[in-house]
Structure 1
Amino acid sequence: MAKREHLAFETLHLPADVDVLAPDTSEIRELLHNPHASMAHGTLPAGSVSVAIKHKTVHEIWYILGGEGELWRRSGHQEEVVHLRAGVVVTIPVQVAFQFRALGDESLRFLMCTSPPWPGHVEAVLVEGHWELPES
């Protein structure tokens, strides 16, 4: 019989403070992680457009909590823009270029599950985006 890996139970409340800015410029609050996946809460401020990137080795699933926005994804010749609002779930497979923006006057808020766990900023590769970034 194979030995089972013992994992401790973990419980966490959503942190009030942002932990880090993601390579795409969204505000990240790190939640839990284990050897197989990580979870984080993301916020893109109202009216913002993210930097376009693709991931080298991780897959993500996003669940939209609130706000409204759009997500652009491109893989080879396949490309689409989808509307984001509370209750929508999207995937961002490995090596898929993506960019998103928050529409209206409310921040776009979402949960991200990343597998394998997020390895850090070296994971993100800048790509040409679908939308122009606002002037700073």
Structure 2
Amino acid sequence: MPARSRRPSRIPGEAWIDEVIQYIRTNLQGDLSLAALAQAGCSSPWHLHRNFKQQTGLTPQQFVRQQRIRLAEQLLLETTSSVATVGGQAGFHGTAHFMNCFRKEAGCTPVQFRKQKLAEAAQRR
């Protein structure tokens, strides 16, 4: 009898998508391609994409981008690091790509975001 591969069993119901979400949140700087996420979730890319979108309303890549932008926003406010450094720390490959994604998600550039939020914080003091 051939040896079976020892893949972890899939968690029933929607809980396995929650595990993929947790994997994304803890690995924002790593490879979060659909294939990598499917492997982490012990699923096929197609099955992951379909179920993830049903549960969250976003595709896996939209969710990854959203989480990376949230991390970048936090880093922009808590550090004095350059935009390029913040983009890299948030998992983006290339400053131009980071700035385009940030502008689409936040509605402004990272520099504008930082200035606006710091000015708002100073007014509250």
- Is the pair's TM-score, using the shorter chain for normalization, greater than 0.5? no
Please identify the structure whose Cα radius of gyration is greater.
2
Which of the pair is proportionally richer in helix? 2
With a CA cutoff of 8 Å and minimum separation of 6, indicate the structure with the bigger relative contact order: 1
* TM-score, normalised by the number of residues in structure 2: 0.24
Which of the pair is proportionally richer in strand? 1
